[in-house]
Amino acid sequence: LDLQAEDLQMIKELGAGNGGSVDKVLHAPTKTIMAKKNIHVETQPQVKKQILRELQVLHDCDSPYIVSFYGAFLNHGEICMCMEYMDIGSLDSIYRKKGPIDVEIVGKITYNVLSGLIYLYDNHRIIHRDIKPSNILLNSAGQIKICDFGVSGVLINSIASTFVGTNAYMSPERIQGGPYSVKSDVWSVGITVMELALGRFPFPPDGKQLAILELLNYIVNEPAPTLPEGMYPEDLSQFITACLLKNPDQRPTPAQLLESPFVARCQMAPVDLKQWAELVSRK
């Protein structure tokens, strides 16, 4: 599929994040609805071409837990990436509209996220680097997939030098400038799972707003957050405690977390993600 800007008709803007925006578009020749991410980076044209070459790896990513990729191109100096459109949207918008997500559903979401991380690492040696509720997407078939992982080293560096790379889902070792590993993704999974079950971002525990630098300071120096006592199943609390160990060497791997009592129990639970998708998409 040779994607060209001229063949894409704008339908609407889906959202904007740090350094980019995402549009719902129609690829007219194939009548395919796509999500087009526009990324602005301040680099030379050759560097942008290099990024496009590195993004080609996405064509080889094929998993039910990963948002599929249609192609990428340059348009007026912006890097445009076209991907599978997920019609219900991201989990942050779902809990903001509908409140905290039921524990069994959170467990099934967790299973999909961990399976996606394992797929990326085992098959492509890719570390996600940006797990958070807005990068977990749902469609009306009840599929849950992750997007926005770091495939292109050059793109990661270009974004880092164009924007201040602070992110509230970053692990303590990353905030302190340490190397990125799969264990840093595990920290972000812990924060994300907590956020979905609580219906709010878990830092700081009292829910007060902190400026970003204060927040990063808190993450590094204060104890990791825990779920309120007595309101959630013990296996979920244990799952979160394991993900949020400050020492990355002590954190479990995604494969170990897949076998945790919390994830294993929810995987057996008789809840249907397609039904849940119908429920959350109702007005």
Judged by CB under 5 A, the residue of 135, 143, 158, 192 near Mg ion is 135
Annotated active-site residue 60? The verdict is: no
Judged by CB under 5 A, the stretch of 53-61, 109-117, 128-136, 169-177 that binds Mg ion is: 128-136
The site for ligand ADP (CB under 6 A) is made up of 14-18, 20-22, 35, 67, 83-86, 89-90, 93, 134-135, 137, 147-148
- Is 185 a binding residue for Mg ion by CB under 5 A? The answer is no
Using the minimum distance from each CB to Mg ion, give the nearer residue, 192 or 260. 192
Chosen from Mg ion, ligand ADP, none, partner binding at 93 (C-beta under 5 to 8 Å by type): ligand ADP
Other CB atoms within a 10 A radius of the CB of residue 31 amount to 7
Which of these is catalytic: 130, 148, 235, 272?
130
How far is Cα 73 from Cα 4, in angstroms, rounded to an integer? 7
Chosen from ligand ADP, Mg ion, none, partner binding at 32 (C-beta under 5 to 8 Å by type): none
Using the minimum distance from each CB to ligand ADP, give the nearer residue, 98 or 246. 98
How far is Cα 14 from Cα 145, in angstroms, rounded to an integer? 17
Strand ranges, E, within 40-167: 69-75, 78-84, 89-90, 136-138, 144-146
Nearest to 8 by CA among 17, 18, 29, 21: 29
Hey, CA dihedral for 248, 250, 254, 258, is it positive or negative?
negative
CB of residue 183 to ligand ADP, shortest distance in Å: 22
Using the minimum distance from each CB to ligand ADP, give the nearer residue, 20 or 202. 20
Q: Is 150 exposed, middle or buried (0-12, 13-18, 19+ CB in 10 A)?
A: middle
| Active site positions, annotated | 130
